[in-house]
């Protein structure tokens, strides 16, 4: 885990307070989507399929502040769409930072270099740049040549100005583990603070349906990528979540840990699925049938999901909910060793699972994108 000590302390203190209160459904990260419009058209994303009148909508700064205050999460992620398209993003970021929220401004970085003057470096602000690999892989993923070079130039400029910068990467079927590890080396040399990883979610209506990972394939791919990790690599995630991706731990999702608020309201049940909207955070918590979701249920939409927005908070709960989880987290954070102690027989088990499931390695031949949206749905109010 690569975050400043002050941020780690704030989050730890917050979690301890919630557990002492006996609060089971507490949020860690607010996924605050200020708009859906984007300046890329990725094949794995459903957001651009919203009708034009929805793409024109955006949250006001006041709506963003009200959601942040209502939710109370110590960390706020600003995904999209592309947040830098929002004409009031400067005011939104300043207002959230003034509330001492740790803000992750997610961007494809196409506009970042010319928008940097809008923002002030702060320990509370991190620019999280979407990069899905080295130049060939990333440009292929987002369906536009030249995006990798533009993003890297923007990252270099942001680092030069003193901004905290991380990257987020989504992995799909056909990813080459050696190339991914080479990408980690590149990011380390570039000087980013940390790397966030997640497998892609199989959105039903995404144009590209061929390259979403099944659960066993996710385990195999992340084992190949993360086994014997280099000490220089820094991941902006719980190490227990990374071991979950490797198949060494089994968690059910805790979607309330990363609730989503957008132009429709509070999205049920999570960032990835759209089963309706609530007007308030408490209404969303109380009215959502949480037992209906997770890969331990019979819900087919959750069967292969291992995305960070559902399971990162599960890993954090494990850290603070058991001595084993806590000591394991401390060991991995201080000394490394992802997957050590779990590897005996693991590769044979994975091979058997893959053979039984019929999921083998397939070459990637079409675009794949890490944008987060299932089939666009409008709220009841929007349909009126």
Is 362 contained in some domain? Answer: no
Which residue blocks in 106-204 are alpha helix, DSSP H?
112-115, 135-142, 147-160, 177-190
Is 157 contained in some domain? Answer: yes
The residue among 267, 266, 255 whose CA lies nearest residue 297 is 255
Supply the pLDDT for residue 106: 97
* Extended beta strands in 229-359, E state: 260-262, 265-269, 274-278
Residue with tokens 């923002």: 119
| Sign of the CA dihedral with 104 first, then 110, 112, and 115 last | negative
Is 296 contained in some domain? Answer: yes
Q: Rounded CA gap, 2 and 128, in Å?
A: 13
Distances (CA, A) of 14 to 128, 132, 308, 320: 23, 32, 20, 11
Report the residue count for the chain.
384
CATH number at 331 reads 3.80.30.10
Is 159 contained in some domain? Answer: yes
Task: Report how many domains make up the chain.
Answer: 1
Is 268 contained in some domain? Answer: yes
Decide if 272 contacts 310 (C-beta within 8 A). yes
Domain range holding 228? 5-356
Q: At what angle do helices 308-321 and 323-335 cross, to 10 degrees?
A: 110
| Residue 34 bridge partners (DSSP) | none
Q: Rounded CA gap, 259 and 31, in Å?
A: 6
The DSSP code for 37 is: -
Decide if 145 contacts 191 (C-beta within 8 A). no
* DSSP string of 208-267, one letter each residue: --SSPPPHHHHHHHHHHHHSS--TT--BSS-HHHHHHHTTS------GGGS-EEETTEEE
Read off the tokens for 206.
């995404």
* DSSP string of 362-383, one letter each residue: ----S--------S----HHHH
List per-residue pLDDT tens for the chain, 384 residues long: 578 889 999 999 999 999 999 999 999 999 999 999 998 877 667 666 788 899 999 999 999 999 999 999 999 999 989 999 999 999 999 999 999 999 999 999 999 999 999 999 999 999 999 999 999 999 998 999 999 999 999 999 999 999 999 999 989 888 999 999 999 999 999 999 999 999 876 544 444 445 567 888 899 999 999 999 999 999 999 999 999 999 999 999 999 999 999 999 999 999 888 899 999 999 999 999 999 998 888 888 888 889 888 999 999 999 998 899 999 999 998 888 888 876 544 444 544 554 454 443 333 434 444 444 444 555 544 544
Is 384 contained in some domain? Answer: no
Q: What is the pLDDT of residues 53-74, one digit of tens each?
A: 999 999 999 999 999 999 999 9
Supply the pLDDT for residue 212: 62
Give the long-range contacts of residues 325-334, CB within 8 A, separation 24 or more.
325/240, 328/239, 328/240, 329/238, 329/239, 329/240, 332/239, 332/240, 332/243, 333/1, 333/239
Strands 274-278 and 164-171: unpaired
Is 102 contained in some domain? Answer: yes
């Amino acid at each position: 885990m690569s975050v400043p000590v002050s941020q780690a302390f704030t989050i730890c203190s917050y979690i301890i307070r919630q557990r002492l209160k006996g609060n089971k459904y507490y949020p860690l990260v607010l996924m605050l989507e200020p708009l859906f419009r984007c300046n890329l058209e990725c094949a794995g994303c459903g957001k651009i399929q919203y009708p034009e009148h929805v793409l024109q909508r955006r949250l006001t700064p006041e709506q963003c502040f009200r959601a942040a205050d209502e939710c109370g999460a110590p960390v706020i992620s600003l995904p999209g769409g592309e947040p830098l398209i929002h004409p009031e993003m400067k005011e939104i970021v300043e207002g959230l930072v003034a509330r001492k929220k740790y803000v992750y401004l997610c961007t494809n970085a196409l506009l970042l270099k010319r928008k940097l003057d809008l923002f002030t470096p702060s320990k509370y602000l991190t620019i999280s740049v979407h990069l899905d690999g080295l130049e060939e892989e990333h440009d292929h993923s987002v369906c536009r040549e030249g995006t990798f070079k533009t993003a890297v130039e923007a990252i270099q400029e942001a680092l030069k100005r003193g901004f905290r910068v991380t990257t987020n990467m989504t992995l799909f079927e056909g990813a080459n583990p050696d190339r991914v590890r080479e990408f980690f080396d590149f990011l380390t040399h570039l000087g980013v603070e940390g790397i966030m990883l997640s497998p892609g979610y199989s959105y039903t209506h995404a144009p590209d349906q061929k390259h979403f990972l099944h659960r066993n394939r996710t385990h195999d791919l992340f084992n190949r990528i993360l086994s014997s990790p280099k000490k220089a690599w820094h991941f902006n995630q719980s190490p227990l979540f990374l071991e979950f991706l490797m198949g060494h731990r089994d968690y059910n999702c805790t979607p309330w840990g990363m609730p989503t608020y957008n132009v429709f309201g509070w999205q049920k049940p999570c960032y990835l699925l759209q089963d309706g909207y609530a007007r308030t955070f408490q209404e969303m918590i109380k009215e959502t049938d949480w037992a209906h979701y997770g890969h331990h249920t019979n819900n087919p939409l959750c069967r292969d999901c291992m995305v960070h927005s559902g399971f990162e908070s599960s890993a954090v709960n494990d850290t603070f909910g058991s001595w084993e989880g806590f000591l394991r987290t401390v060991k991995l954070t201080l000394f490394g060793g992802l997957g050590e102690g779990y590897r005996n027989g693991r590769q044979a088990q994975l091979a058997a699972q893959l053979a039984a499931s019929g999921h083998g390695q397939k070459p990637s031949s079409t675009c794949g994108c890490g944008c987060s949206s299932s089939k666009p749905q409008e709220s009841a109010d929007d349909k009126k």
